[in-house]
């Protein structure tokens, strides 16, 4: 085994974020409930604190080291990780959207531990998001860090702001994709990726 290289250490996603203030968040949650006419005494006494901690958890990715290895054996086929569960918060309503990600890359000189693909999704999902940007950020980041021949990302998600309220389109899912390199430019490689991702066109 050739020496690994740690190209970057997370938490990247926290670099530009202030540390959460749970005391202030709890007070704000209590004020929100009061403004909505919800009595937070009795059984709801601890609800503002729980709301603050739950949102803080949803907005904080776990840290990890992004370790790459030289592609010494010259593997030149798609590496694809399917069914990666993720949850995020839509930036318009701060309601969850949840789904599965499929992340693939066509290796260049570097390869990546498989679990890291899931960690990259989490890193960008744990912030107020829109699905389109989340998909693109995962693809862009892998493209920049791994310098692969190609990258493909597909996200399929259900948005509670759309299924529980508003349009109330229960069961509707949103599919987004982002591609780089060979997967963007070569239609056969793109087709192979979408087929393996379970998306048929």
User: Where in the sequence numbering do the catalytic residues fall?
Assistant: 90-93, 131, 159, 161
Instruction: Please report whether residue 161 would count as binding Zn ion according to CB under 5 A.
Output: yes
Minimum gap (Å) between residue 161 Cβ and Zn ion: 3
* Residue 144, both tokens: 């920049």
Kindly state the number of chain residues that form the binding site for Zn ion, as judged by CB under 5 A.
Answer: 4
Residue of minimal Cβ distance to Zn ion: 161
Q: How far is the CB of 98 from Zn ion (least distance, A)?
A: 13
Nearer to Zn ion, 80 or 161 (CB): 161
User: How far apart are alpha carbons 147 and 47 in whole angstroms?
Assistant: 46
- Residue placing its CB nearer to Zn ion in the complex, 32 or 147: 32
Site string for Zn ion, 70-109 (x = CB under 5 A): --------------------x-xx----------------
Cβ distance 74 to 106 under 8 Å? no
CB of 137 to Zn ion, least distance (A): 18
> Binding residues for Zn ion, per CB under 5 A?
90, 92-93, 161
């Amino acid at each position: 085994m050739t020496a690994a290289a740690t190209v970057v250490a997370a938490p990247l996603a926290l670099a530009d974020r202030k540390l959460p203030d749970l005391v202030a968040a709890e007070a704000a949650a209590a004020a929100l409930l009061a403004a909505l006419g919800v009595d937070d005494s009795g059984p709801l006494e601890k609800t503002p604190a729980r709301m603050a901690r739950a949102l803080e958890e949803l907005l904080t990715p776990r840290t990890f080291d992004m370790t790459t290895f030289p592609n010494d054996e010259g593997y030149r086929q798609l590496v694809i990780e399917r069914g990666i569960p993720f949850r995020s918060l839509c930036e318009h309503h701060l309601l969850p959207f949840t789904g599965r990600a499929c992340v693939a890359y066509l290796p260049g000189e570097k390869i990546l531990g498989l679990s890291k693909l899931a960690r990259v999704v989490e890193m960008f999902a744990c912030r107020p998001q829109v699905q389109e940007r989340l998909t693109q950020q995962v693809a862009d980041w892998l493209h920049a860090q791994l310098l692969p021949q190609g990258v493909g990302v597909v996200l399929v998600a259900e948005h509670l702001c759309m299924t529980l309220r508003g349009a109330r389109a229960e069961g509707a899912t949103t599919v987004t994709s982002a591609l780089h390199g060979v997967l963007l430019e070569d239609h056969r490689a793109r087709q192979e990726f979408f087929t393996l991702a379970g998306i048929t066109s």
